[in-house]
């Protein structure tokens, strides 16, 4: 296939079947580097399923997914993460009994070299790594919410809902990433918090200019405020894409949302 | 004023450690069940009383915290002098050595189950592998017992690989079943194989000897004569401290965090997968490290007792090893150590309850899981040894 330098990820004819049910049906999507794209559609439209296909959780899809020109079909989720695709989850998968820092550190455990040896025999190296990671996390907290720096070693169950979402994003970005998949990041947040979150997305964009982002959202304010292009799904099929203004005028889109 | 305060703190620490030492020795040596119960009740009441008075309790805790190095130093000194105080009752030195072996095994299981969530119901099997390996190497092929012990650990790792690798993609219950069947099967197998000595096991295993000094000699030092089992006690103390040290470092590092993250219950498998962690690799690593510790303990036991037999490789034994972890505190190194000590010493001390100990332990596990699933000493938030306020 011809390699377009601008295209970060390319989904072609993506079809995911569960038995006879086509959760995703012949979807084509292109995301460019450094784009923030919205992915919307009613519940059950197949949005999270697409994320799961991309990240390797559903390996048995039909069609193809190319990241930076490389076919990632059949790769394990952990291999796909190391290729640069990272994500957050619809229900925050933050581990409540671990500390805030520990939850973030999980995001970069995969890049540690020889952790077992250095843990026992080379404490100096480990301490240097630990300091670097703490500074990395604090750097993120500076951008999102300075208070979190003091809460680094408290249990993650004790931070607020929006901070939990932020922590998930921090964890996703602790290791180098090319593509960030945000799955309903403002679910459960108040209107105020959602507005804050749009600001957070822009801060991420500033920090990682090359990062491509796909956001699944139901909150149209967030889509309007944060994304330049929107892809609309319904019953597993892509019905249209374009800017927010364009798609909100589209009849099919209106019917998909209002005709429920 | 401060200097006097510090001296008072140090004296308090010294005094409390000595009192505890005296209590422990007496506790071990009392034979009469009534005197024993009185002693235990008194100790219980004293502790209860002290914990009632918050200011005394916190003062005591503060003194210990301020005098960490003193505590460790005096504690270690007292501990090393246990064989001296117990030289008339060498049976208890033997039991304390067994305690160390159980502590080592418990740490192994803690890495597998407490940290990584891997259920190993076949610990007695790996213990047996360690024992039989060194028995065969040392008694039939003249291997140095120390090398035999090390190779016992290695064989335990190798024996575990064919169990865990095929079921890497499956969830916990499958490994539980596999390890359970292996320990029962191997017990029967060893009973019937002549090469492994059949039901008699392998006897006449040589004792450990380091540079010509054989562990069968009694220790003559400072005009005291310590029974030969003391050699094994000190050797076990050395191994035990090493194991605790390694476990502490592993837990407070990326390794401990990785194991927690791939843990079915404590962590999140899907999440750690999507964050780039190769679960399969770490399951094998933690399973192997745990089995290595268990194997070494089994090999040590073989040399200490000079025999191995299939009777010790039962499912019940495996459950007991597991209970030390569940009761003591999952993923808590100190908790697991205390659990191991209790499980060894209590049945020995209260022999009158001989048959009831199974019921007591198993019901304790059930109660513990229902009422306080984290165990006696709950796992602490990892702070990597950084001292923060």
Same domain, B315 and B171: yes
Residues of chain B neighbouring A99 (CB-CB closer than 8 A): 381-383
- Give yes or no for a contact between B17 and B75, defined as CB atoms under 8 angstroms apart: yes
For residue A104, which of A51, A149, A55 has the smallest C-alpha distance?
Answer: A149
Alpha-carbon span A39 to B270, nearest angstrom: 22
Alpha-carbon span B117 to B287, nearest angstrom: 10
Total domains in chain B come to 2
Same domain, B118 and B34: no
- Higher-confidence residue: B54 or B73? B73
Same domain, B165 and B293: yes
Structure tokens at A57: 């959780």
Segment holding B55, helix H or strand E = helix B54-66
* Chain B interface includes A87 (CB < 8 A): yes
Is residue B132 included in any domain, yes or no?
Answer: yes
Alpha-carbon span B318 to B248, nearest angstrom: 24
Residue B324's domain comprises 98-371
Subunit contact A153:B276, Cβ cutoff 8 A: no
Same domain, B177 and B222: yes
pLDDT greater than 90 at residue B134: yes
Structure tokens at B281: 């690799």
| DSSP, residue by residue, B179-216 | HHHHHHHHHHHHHH-GGGTGGG-B--PPPPEETTEETT
Residues of chain B neighbouring A106 (CB-CB closer than 8 A): 257, 261, 271-272, 275, 277
What is residue B1's predicted lDDT score, i.e. its pLDDT?
Answer: 67
Alpha-carbon span B144 to B360, nearest angstrom: 41
Low-confidence ranges of chain A (pLDDT < 70): 1-5, 258-260
What is residue B354's predicted lDDT score, i.e. its pLDDT?
Answer: 81
What is residue B54's predicted lDDT score, i.e. its pLDDT?
Answer: 81
Is residue B212 included in any domain, yes or no?
Answer: yes
Same domain, B134 and B52: no
Alpha-carbon span B237 to B243, nearest angstrom: 10
Is residue B52 included in any domain, yes or no?
Answer: yes
Alpha-carbon span A106 to B20, nearest angstrom: 42
Q: pLDDT tens-digit profile of B62-91?
A: 888 887 888 889 889 999 999 988 888 889
Subunit contact A126:B382, Cβ cutoff 8 A: no
Can you list the pairs that B65-72 forms with residues at least 24 positions away whose Cβ atoms lie under 8 Å? B66/B6, B66/B9, B67/B9, B67/B10, B67/B13, B70/B10, B70/B13, B70/B14, B71/B13, B71/B17
Same domain, B26 and B65: yes
- Give yes or no for a contact between A233 and A47, defined as CB atoms under 8 angstroms apart: yes
Alpha-carbon span B294 to B314, nearest angstrom: 14
Subunit contact B383:A78, Cβ cutoff 8 A: no
Answer with the one of B19, B48, B80 that is the final residue of a domain.
B80
Residues of chain A neighbouring B273 (CB-CB closer than 8 A): 57, 76-78
What is residue A3's predicted lDDT score, i.e. its pLDDT?
Answer: 52
Find tokens 């510790």 and name the residue. B293
What is residue A18's predicted lDDT score, i.e. its pLDDT?
Answer: 93
If one counts every other C-beta atom within 10 angstroms of the C-beta of residue B42, the result is 11
Is residue B88 included in any domain, yes or no?
Answer: no
What is residue B389's predicted lDDT score, i.e. its pLDDT?
Answer: 41
Same domain, B180 and B270: yes
What is residue A127's predicted lDDT score, i.e. its pLDDT?
Answer: 94
What is residue A260's predicted lDDT score, i.e. its pLDDT?
Answer: 46
What is the predicted ipTM?
Answer: 0.93
Subunit contact B383:A153, Cβ cutoff 8 A: yes
If one counts every other C-beta atom within 10 angstroms of the C-beta of residue A164, the result is 19
Question: How do A21-32 and A36-40 pair as beta strands?
Answer: unpaired
Is residue B173 included in any domain, yes or no?
Answer: yes
pLDDT greater than 70 at residue B387: no
Same domain, B70 and B137: no
Average pLDDT over residues B129-138: 94
Same domain, B276 and B340: yes
Residues of chain B neighbouring A98 (CB-CB closer than 8 A): 257, 260, 267, 381-382
The CA R_g of chain B, rounded to the nearest whole Å, is 22
% of chain B residues with pLDDT over 70: 99
Average pLDDT over residues B253-257: 96
Same domain, B4 and B146: no
pLDDT greater than 70 at residue B201: yes
Same domain, B73 and B140: no
* Chain A interface includes B146 (CB < 8 A): no
What is residue B55's predicted lDDT score, i.e. its pLDDT?
Answer: 81
Alpha-carbon span B61 to A219, nearest angstrom: 53
Q: pLDDT tens-digit profile of B318-361?
A: 999 999 999 999 999 999 999 999 999 999 888 888 888 888 88
Residues of chain B neighbouring A78 (CB-CB closer than 8 A): 273-279
pLDDT greater than 60 at residue B284: yes
What is residue B206's predicted lDDT score, i.e. its pLDDT?
Answer: 86
What is residue A259's predicted lDDT score, i.e. its pLDDT?
Answer: 60
Is residue B266 included in any domain, yes or no?
Answer: yes
Same domain, B314 and B200: yes
Count residue pairs from A and B with Cβ separation < 8 A: 104
- Give yes or no for a contact between B330 and B258, defined as CB atoms under 8 angstroms apart: no
| DSSP, residue by residue, B105-174 | HHHHHIIIIIIT----TTHHHHHHHHHHHHHHHHHHS---HHHHHHHHHHHHHHHHHHHHGGGTTS-HHH
3-state secondary structure of B375: coil
Is residue B86 included in any domain, yes or no?
Answer: no
Is residue B379 included in any domain, yes or no?
Answer: no
If one counts every other C-beta atom within 10 angstroms of the C-beta of residue B72, the result is 10
């Amino acid at each position: 296939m011809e390699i377009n330098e601008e295209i970060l990820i390319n989904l072609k004819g993506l079809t995911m079947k569960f038995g006879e049910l086509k959760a995703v049906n012949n979807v084509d999507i292109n995301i460019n580097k450094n784009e923030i794209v919205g992915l919307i559609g009613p519940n059950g439209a197949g949005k999270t399923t697409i994320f799961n296909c991309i990240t390797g959780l559903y390996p048995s899809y039909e069609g193809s997914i190319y990241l930076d020109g490389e076919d990632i079909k059949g790769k394990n989720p952990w291999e796909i993460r190391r290729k640069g695709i990272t994500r957050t989850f619809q229900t925050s998968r933050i581990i409540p009994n671990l500390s805030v820092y520990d939850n973030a550190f999980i995001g970069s455990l995969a890049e540690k070299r020889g952790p077992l040896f250095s843990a026992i025999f080379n404490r100096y190296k480990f301490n240097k790594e630990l300091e670097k990671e703490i500074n990395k996390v604090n750097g993120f907290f500076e951008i999102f919410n300075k208070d979190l720096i003091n809460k680094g070693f408290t249990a993650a169950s004790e931070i607020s809902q929006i901070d939990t979402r932020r922590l998930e994003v921090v964890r996703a970005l602790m290791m180098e990433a090319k593509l960030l998949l945000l799955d309903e990041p403002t679910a459960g947040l108040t209107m105020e918090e959602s507005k804050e979150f749009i600001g957070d997305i822009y801060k991420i964009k500033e920090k990682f200019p090359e990062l491509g982002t796909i956001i699944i959202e139901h909150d149209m304010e967030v889509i309007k405020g944060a994304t330049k292009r929107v892809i609309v799904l319904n019953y597993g099929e892509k019905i249209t894409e374009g800017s927010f203004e364009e798609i909100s005028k589209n009849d099919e889109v209106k019917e998909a949302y209002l005709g429920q | 004023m401060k200097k006097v305060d510090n001296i008072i703190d140090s004296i308090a620490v010294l005094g409390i450690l000595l009192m505890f030492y005296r209590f422990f020795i007496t506790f071990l040596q009392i034979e009469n069940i009534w005197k024993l119960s009185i002693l235990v009740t008194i100790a219980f009441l004293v502790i209860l009383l002290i914990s009632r008075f918050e200011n005394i309790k916190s003062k005591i805790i503060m003194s210990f915290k301020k005098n960490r190095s003193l505590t460790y130093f005096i504690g270690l000194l007292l501990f090393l002098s246990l064989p001296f105080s117990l030289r008339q009752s060498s049976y208890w030195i033997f039991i304390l050595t067994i305690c160390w072996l159980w502590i080592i095994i418990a740490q192994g299981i803690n890495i597998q189950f407490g940290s990584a969530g891997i259920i190993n119901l076949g610990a007695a099997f790996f213990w047996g592998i360690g024992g039989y390996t060194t028995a065969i190497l040392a008694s039939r092929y003249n291997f140095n017992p120390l090398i035999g012990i090390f190779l016992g650990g290695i064989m335990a790792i190798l024996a575990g690989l064919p169990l865990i690798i095929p079921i890497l993609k499956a969830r916990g219950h499958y490994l539980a079943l596999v390890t359970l069947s292996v320990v029962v099967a191997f017990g029967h197998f060893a009973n019937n194989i002549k090469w492994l000595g059949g039901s008699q096991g392998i006897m006449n295993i040589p004792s450990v000897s380091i540079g010509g000094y054989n562990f069968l000699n009694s220790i003559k030092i400072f005009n005291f004569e310590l029974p030969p089992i003391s050699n094994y006690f000190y050797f076990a103390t050395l191994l035990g401290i090493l194991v605790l040290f390694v476990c502490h470092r592993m837990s407070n590092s990326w390794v401990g965090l990785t194991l927690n993250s791939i843990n079915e219950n404590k962590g999140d498998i899907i999440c750690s997968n999507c964050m780039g962690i190769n679960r399969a690799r770490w399951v094998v690593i933690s399973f192997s490290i745990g089995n290595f510790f268990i194997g070494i303990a089994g090999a040590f036991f073989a040399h200490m007792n000079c025999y191995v037999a299939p009777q010790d490789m039962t499912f019940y034994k495996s459950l007991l090893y597991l209970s030390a972890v569940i009761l003591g505190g999952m993923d808590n190194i100190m908790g697991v150590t205390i659990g191991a000590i209790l499980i060894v010493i209590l049945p020995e001390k209260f022999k009158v309850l001989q048959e009831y100990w199974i019921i007591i332990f198993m019901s304790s596990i059930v109660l513990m899981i229902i009422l306080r699933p984290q165990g006696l000493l709950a796992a602490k938030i990892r702070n990597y040894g950084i001292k923060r306020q």
